[in-house]
Amino acid sequence: DVAVKTGTAQVGTPVTSNADWMIGFAPAKDPKVAIAVVVPVQPVGSYGAVVAGPIVKAMLEFALG
């Protein structure tokens, strides 16, 4: 089990891009690993879970073996 939080920050005035992010830790009840991923300069309309989620998943899988 993992615990994560996603986010999307709009960048620029007017908004020209998104910065998508996800933070998380695992195992959720007894954390051994914490990870933060920020993916800047993404298209407007993108989401943290879609953009940063696969990166966090791969990193957690690698870290926890």
Segment 8-33, tens digit of pLDDT: 999 999 999 999 999 999 999 999 99
Confidence of residue 7 (pLDDT cuts 50, 70, 90): very high
* Percent of the chain clearing pLDDT 70 (strictly above): 100
Q: Count Cβ atoms below 10 Å from residue 34 Cβ, excluding itself.
A: 12
The pLDDT score that the predictor gives to residue 63 is 95
The rounded distance, in Å, linking the Cα atoms of 1 and 7 is 20
Prediction pTM value:
0.88
Report the half-sphere exposure of 7 (CA within 13 A, side-chain side).
Answer: 12
Give residue 65's Cα distance to chain centre: 20
